[in-house]
Structure 1
Amino acid sequence: MTPPTTPRVSYIWSQELQDVSDDLPSNIGRSSMVHGLIKALELLDEIIEDKAHIDNHPRAQVVAPDEDLGTGDCLLKYHDKEYIDALSEQRPDSSPDYDPTAPQEPASSSSRPAKRARLDGSSAKEIQELDGFNLTHDNPIFTTLPKYVSLVAASTLTACRLLLRDEADFVLCWDGGRHHAKKSEAGGFCYVNDLVLGLLLLSKEGRIKMDYNSEGQEHGTNGNKRMKSRPPRILYLDLDLHYSDGVSSAFHSTKVYPDPMPKQKPPKPPSVMTFSIHHLAPGFYPPATPWSELTNPWLPTPFSLAVPLRAYTSSKTYKTIWEGCVEPIVKSWDPDFIIVQLGSDGLPGDRVGQYGNWSVEGEGGMKWCIQQVKKWGKKTIITGGGGYNHPNTARAWASVTAAVLDRPMNSETPIPHHDHFEEYAHSFTMEVLEGHMDDENDPEYIQGACEDFEYIATRVQDIVESSLR
């Protein structure tokens, strides 16, 4: 597919979505900072009565989340009913008075532990029930939680519908990307897995019409042909510093794909491939599993992919991984839809990520990666995710928004005056300071990962070609 000259870019936002996202205990006020900066940079096509003075720069079309896509029935497409009931219960004045992302206080401190929920007035039975859904400690309940869950799910599902209806080429959904939530419990500051819900919707409604010739091979516009359709191929690419445990586990398959594939009755590929590039170390969230380790190229199912990295991964290493692991997989999988989870906790100075050394600018940086995604010419959704240094997160996601729109912007671009202007001191520019820690990734390990993924790519290509015979 050839990328469109001017991509149609949509931007999921509403005032209510922003307000409830601001209430997320792990990211109080982040949504307002992100959207406020992007609006101040005039990257959005807002409704203005007098447009005579407006320039012709491309802007993203603002689309409000369709609340009909965030109902209880929609959430039950993946999550368990008991869990959704627990999330949906109205609890007045239940917002926590602590920061779940703050460092744990030492035992000798007189302060309450930062990660311990204080459910004053709650019965022991209620606390036990909430613990069963992991709705305490790092994932406390808060007053607007029911509306938050509904709107975040609706946001990503609305983005998927825009692609399915061919109303956009790129959709930006910065309040989405909650990749740690499980079927029946919260995790990692995530309460609803909007990504799983979106991937399920694309899988169900995204069938691809195909031309086949008399031998059943994929065919062009001439010759003897018959119309058929096939399930979509979807790539979920996770660039958050933390492993995509919620999404990857939801789509992990135990189906065996022989190598090479048999000529007769080969097993069909799944619709969803998950690919996570993340930091992995003892004690780092989420706990390591066999699926978060470097993918073994001889595994029976090469569709739950992972490249774990050591501390302080530099943009240079990201570039090597991208060219040696990501590009071969994308070429062989040839996805019809892509969802990129673009957490910013891998940037320096993040109080939760801590081991980040990624950059926004330059080769291998965040903007560079998204520019490579654009070259693939696929219908794409980009969501948010982790990011706990709010000014840097706003800078990064605003820079990516500009890059998707082909709008010029760099680290020296000044921050416009707006409600959050003072929070960008001292530089008052778009610069995210680069880290200076030594990249702890062994070049031999990175090279070995690239070689493994070259082989995985040949297996994926064999599986895809077998499915089209």
Structure 2
Amino acid sequence: MEHSVSYIFDDKLLEHCDKLPPVKQRASMVHALIESYELLKYMNIIPSVKATPEDLQLFHSSSFVKCMKESNDLDLDDVNEEQIEFGLGYDCPPFENIFETILTIAGGSLTAASRLVSEDTKIAINWCGGWHHAQRDEAEGFCYVNDIVIGIEKLREKFKRILYIDLDIHHGNGVENAFAFSKKVFTLSFHKHEPGFYPGSGLLSDVGLGNGRGYSCNVPLKEGVSDYSLNYLFKIICPQIYEAYQPEVVVVQCGSDCLNEDPLGQSNLTLDSLGECIRSILNWNKPTLFLGGGGYNLPNTARLWTYLTAIITGQDKLISMDIPDNDFFLKYGPGYELPIVKGNQKDTNDKTYLDCIIKTVKDNLKKYDVKSSL
């Protein structure tokens, strides 16, 4: 039976994503929970097609691709100055078969984008994608390849106006930088912005450059953002941007490190607020690509992306709040439930600050005359 949702999955994709140093076994944990909730039967399962080195150059430089290829069998101890220059080491350490992994990750999002371009699906999901920090010439922030930009470049074969929405707790700097000078991709990032918090970019005043000025929007959040604050901003800002820009396709990065209990994100959010964001996007009824991203509390990442899969497939009102038996069941203790509790940090994003952001975004859309005609 054909469904309107395509789910990118195959064993090789999981195998390679399970090797990524900061999130080992996460891909398998996510897939196992989705499978245990019997959500696969509501989607078309599409095996990914590995990208080629030429595909990587839809965004990355030839010298970066060459360096990654030559680093395929590198040991951490073997890293030289050239590899360090291209970002290998520190938060992106080399590992065995790294180039094959990069090609496989990029291939997952390319496969998803291709389904939308060919109109074989209305919605595509690739939870193995969403690596938004990688730059044209540099691996960065646990991201060895920017599969998002590569996927968007594929979408540009068909769609003239693409809206990119980033829900990760970290600023989507790699994607914004890639399209900073373009009106053909509008980038919108909700993220924490505090002194010392990675990557340190994404100010409210950062609105794009040159011909693309006004076509980037950043929503910098203070410590302790709550479900209320995120949804208050999202439900006002997103419709304003949507109405002004009139996108033909939407790409959503659903990083789960914004959830409570994430060791890097340190935020208050629960599944509820992210779910409301996704429902709002689905109501636009546009071709949409949903991607993963950050998420370093692995059970909570699996909870979120499973819950979002249920929303996307229309099954969220029917699934059990008790975690079904699966290969990683013991990781969900002690409660073994799907929901997560909200954090108890003080939300320093008061209404005055939230309204200031909303006013600035609205003024910028008018100031830079953001519109659908290109």
Aligned mates of 2:218, 2:240 — CA distance in 1: 14
Aligned equivalent of 2:26, options 24, 30, 36: 30
Which residue matches 1:206? 158
Q: 1:246 to 1:42 in 2, by over 3 A?
A: same
2:193 corresponding residue in structure 1: 280
- 1:33 is paired with a residue whose SS is helix
Report what 1:97 is aligned to: none
Residue correspondences, number = 371
Q: Distance in 1 between matches of 2:100 and 2:312?
A: 30
Task: State the distance in 1 between where 2:359 and 2:327 align.
Answer: 49
* Contact 1:10-1:171 within 8 A present in 2 as well: yes
User: What one-letter code is carried by the residue in structure 1 that aligns with 2:119?
Assistant: D
Whether the 8 Å CA contact 1:329–1:456 is kept in 2: the answer is: no
Return the match for 1:146 from 84, 96, 99: 99
The answer to whether structure 1 residue 243 and structure 2 residue 186 are counterparts is: no
Q: Could you say what secondary structure the match of 1:65 adopts?
A: coil
Tell me the distance in 2 between the aligned counterparts of 1:13 and 1:297.
35
| Unaligned segments of structure 1, at least 5 residues | 1-5, 46-58, 95-118, 208-231, 254-268
Which position in structure 1 is the counterpart of 2:313? 405
1:107 paired residue number:
none
Residue 62 of structure 1 is matched in structure 2 by: 45
1:302 aligns with 2:210: no
1:339 paired residue among 247, 251, 254: 251
1:293 equivalenced with 2:206 (yes/no): no
Please say if 1:11 is aligned against 2:7. Answer: yes
- Contact kept? 2:9, 2:46, Cα under 8 Å: yes
Residues 116-155 of structure 1: pairs in structure 2 closer than 5 A: 119-120=76-77, 122=78, 126-155=79-108
Pick aligned residue for 1:433 from 319, 329, 341: 341
Change (3 A) 1:75 1:344: same
CA distance in 2, matches of 1:350, 1:410: 27
- The aligned residue for residue 390 of structure 1 is 298
Give the unaligned 5+ runs of structure 2. none
SS where residue 300 of structure 2 aligns? Answer: helix
**What secondary structure does 1:294 align onto?**
coil
TM-score, structure 1 length as denominator? 0.76
Matched-pair contact (CA < 8 Å) for 1:324–1:451 = no
Q: Which one has the largest radius of gyration?
A: 1
Q: Equivalent residue for 1:452? A: 360
1:458 deviation in Å? Answer: 3.6
The runs of 4+ residues in structure 1 deviating greater than 6 Å are: 296-300
Number of the residue aligned with 1:39: 35
Query: How many Å separate the matches in 1 of 2:347 and 2:318?
Result: 24
Deviations 1:222-254 (A, max 9, x none): xxxxxxxxxx1100100100001101011111x
SS in 2 for 1:431: coil
> Partner amino acid for 2:230?
Y
Distance 1:297 1:270, change over 3 A: closer
- Once the two structures are overlaid, the 10-residue window that deviates more, 139-148 or 374-383, is 139-148
Distance in structure 2 (CA, Å) of the matches to 1:186 and 1:298: 22
Within 1, Cα distance between the matches of 2:204 and 2:275?
25
Q: List aligned pairs for 1:83-122, cutoff 5 A.
A: 83-89=64-70, 91-92=72-73, 94=75, 119-120=76-77, 122=78
- Spell out the pairing of 1:185-196 with structure 2 (5 A cutoff): 185-196=138-149
Report deviation, 1:410.
8.0
Gap change, CA 1:298 and 1:10, over 3 Å in 2? closer
Work out the CA distance in 1 between the residues paired with 2:64 and 2:207: 36
User: When the two structures are superposed, what TM-score results if normalisation uses the length of structure 2?
Assistant: 0.94
Give the alignment partner of residue 270 of structure 2, picking from 359, 379, 382. Answer: 359
Q: Is the 8 A contact 1:37 1:394 kept in 2?
A: yes
1:464 corresponds to which of 356, 359, 371:
371
Q: Deviations over 1:236-273 (max 9, x none)?
A: 100100001101011111xxxxxxxxxxxxxxx72101
CA drift of 1:324 comes to 2.1
Q: CA RMSD in A?
A: 2.0
> What amino acid does structure 2 have at the position aligned with 1:358?
L
Instruction: Classify the secondary structure of the residue corresponding to 1:376.
Output: coil
Q: Secondary structure at the match of 1:464?
A: coil
For the Cα contact (< 8 Å) 1:13–1:64, is it kept in 2? yes
Q: Determine if the alignment matches structure 1 residue 157 to structure 2 residue 110.
A: yes
How far 1:444 sits from its partner (Å)?
Answer: 0.8
Q: Amino acid of the residue matched to residue 348 of structure 1?
A: N
Distance 1:336 1:306 in 2: 21
Q: In structure 2, the residue corresponding to 1:441 is in which secondary structure? A: coil
Aligned AA for 1:145? I
**Maintained 8 Å contact 1:297/1:452:** no
Q: Taking every aligned residue pair, what percent have the same amino acid on both sides?
A: 34
Give the aligned residue type for 1:349: E
Task: Quote the Cα distance in structure 2 between the aligned partners of 1:130 and 1:406.
Answer: 45
What is the distance in 1 between the residues matched to 2:190 and 2:319? Answer: 25
For 2:163, the aligned partner's letter is L
Give the C-alpha shift of residue 466 in structure 1.
5.5
Given that 1:412 and 1:431 are in contact with CA atoms closer than 8 Å, whether structure 2 keeps it comes out as no
CA distance in 2, matches of 1:79, 1:449: 33
Residue 74 of structure 1 and its aligned partner are, at CA, apart by 0.7
Q: CA–CA distance in 1 between the matches of 2:55 and 2:278?
A: 30
Is the Cα contact below 8 Å between 1:177 and 1:195 reproduced in 2? Answer: yes
Higher helix share: 2
Residue 372 (1) aligns with residue 280 (2): yes
